Amino acid sequence: MNHRYLRLQSALEQNSSSEWLIGDPISLLYVTGLHLSAGYLYASRDGLILFVDGRYTQLAKTHGGGIQVESLERMAEYFRDHLPTADLAIPEETITCGRFRRLKDQFGSIAPKVALQTANRHPISDLRQIKDADELSIMRKAAKLCSEGCDFVMENLKASITERELVRRLQLFWQVKGGERFAFDPIIAFGASTAMPHYSPRDVPLNRGDTVLIDIGVVVEGYHSDMTRTCFYGTPNEKVLEIYSIVREAQQRALNQCREGVTTHAIDRTAREYIASKGYGDEFCHGLGHGVGLEIHEAPTLSSKPQAPDIPLKTGMVVTVEPGIYLPGVGGVRIEDCVVVASDGCENLTQRPTETLVIE
């Protein structure tokens, strides 16, 4: 049986909610290894059942690792006949109000004794935070290809090349190297546009003296990578040079704190308080980082905002560490590495230097 089935059932034995109905494609992919656009996984301490429609029945039976497969169209009937008093929890982040209402109506008319409720946590999301050896092997490949892509972009920084042209070249470079797709829409920004944390590349030409921000990621075997580097084309702006050294030191302080047991709030504060001590607290306008894996943004979130959960880092988590300072009309700096948390520190997957780089 798929080892993730066993991990999930083991986790459910320690969970207050003993029966789950999970239908988001990423969770189904994680548990079964199958790309399913529709379906539900019934997960309990007693076993797992995968409900799929006719498009996926043979696929699931052949490549589903031995999981029990049943008809999605007759899911309510299955519960009526075999699990008539099931008490099902559905992770609220994975289902819309409309879909939940339709599901309740379906069960209400066919299997009225089955209870459905939403839950504010997700047992598979919890499992996905801790990467296993196979996942880490793939993520090292993705990070390596991502770093090679960043090198490629820097090598192509020539006068008059545009942001969009660099994106097009990067896409071709990764396709040739075996990358599946962009992990997210790349951010390649020149000059004052680097002060916009989530910028969309335009047909803007590169000029001498421009700051260049490169925030990119590539998907390899379903797993995402993410990194950011800021460099300078020609003589750097003195103010941007100043904030570069601050951001670099803030990131290094956070990386030094990145180990099992340190909380997500604490590591964010490490970088944030240093940046604030240099007078740029208001210009660091986002969280320090986020989990990475089958999705580009997943738990945990490295942020000290009150609404962000404050949880201890655990061995096997893969997170980004990406402080930044942004000065409108001048420019911005962000430096981002992807790291694996360990008991005594972290493994940096983004094996590229962060020293100030000036490209002449």
* pLDDT of 45: 87
The reported pLDDT for the residue numbered 16 is 62
CB contact set of 131 (below 8 Å; sequence gap of 6+): 139, 293, 316, 317, 318, 340
More confident residue, 328 or 122: 328
pLDDT beyond 60 at 1? no
Categorize the per-residue pLDDT at 44 as very low, low, confident or very high, splitting at 50, 70 and 90.
very high
- Range in 11-15, 43-47, 60-64, 115-119 the model is least confident about: 11-15
Say whether pLDDT at 2 is over 80.
Answer: no
Query: What is the average pLDDT value for the chain, to the nearest integer?
Result: 96
3-state SS class at 274: helix
| Tokens linked to 88 | 């099902």
DSSP letters along 289-345, please? EEE-SSSSSEEEEE--STTS---B--TT-EEEE--EEEETTTEEEE-BEEEEEETTE
Mean pLDDT of 283-288: 98
Most confident of 30-34, 91-95, 181-185: 181-185
Task: Read off the pLDDT of each residue in 59-81 and give the average, rounded to a whole number.
Answer: 97
* Whole-number Å distance between alpha carbons of 267 and 269: 5
Asked whether 76 and 105 are in contact (CB, 8 A), the reply is no
Question: What is the pLDDT, as a whole number, of residue 232?
Answer: 98
- Mean pLDDT throughout 320-349? 98
Mean pLDDT of 332-360: 97
Rounded Cα–Cα distance for residues 113 and 84 (Å): 6
What pLDDT is recorded for position 3?
83
On the question of pLDDT at 354 being above 60, the answer is: yes
Angle between helices 97-110 and 75-82 (to 10 degrees): 50
Q: What mean pLDDT is predicted for residues 53-77?
A: 97
Q: What pLDDT is stored for residue 135 in this prediction? A: 97
Give 318's strand partners. 340
159 C-beta neighbours (distance < 10 Å), count: 11
For residue range 233-254, what is the model confidence (pLDDT) as tens digits? 999 999 999 999 999 999 999 9
pLDDT of 10 strictly over 90: no
Residue 287 pLDDT greater than 60, yes or no: yes
Q: In the predicted model, is pLDDT for residue 322 greater than 70?
A: yes
- Given a cut of 90, whether residue 174 has pLDDT beyond it is yes
**Residue 281 pLDDT > 60:** yes
| DSSP helix/strand/coil, 193 | helix
Region 259-281 average pLDDT = 99
- The answer to which of 123-127, 130-134, 206-210, 318-322 has the lowest mean pLDDT is 123-127
- Which pLDDT value is given to residue 17? 67
| 228-267 core/surface letters (b: 16 or more CB in 10 A; e: else) | bbbbbbeebbeebbbbbebbbebbbbbbebbbbebbbbbb
Inform me whether the pLDDT recorded for 323 exceeds 70.
yes
- Among 354, 353, 220, residue whose Cα is nearest residue 292: 220
Q: Residue range 96-120: average pLDDT?
A: 94
What are the phi and psi torsion angles at 247 (to 5°)? -65, -40
Confidence band, pLDDT 50/70/90 cuts, at residue 166: very high
Q: How far apart are CA 18 and CA 46, in angstroms?
A: 9
Domains of the chain (ranges; CATH) run 3-128 (3.40.350.10), 133-359 (3.90.230.10)
Contacts of 46 (CB under 8 A, 6+ apart): none
* Mean pLDDT on 144-167: 98
> Using an 8 Å Cβ cutoff, are 343 and 315 in contact?
yes
Two tokens, residue 105: 């109506």
**Minimum mean pLDDT range among 43-47, 202-206, 311-315:** 43-47
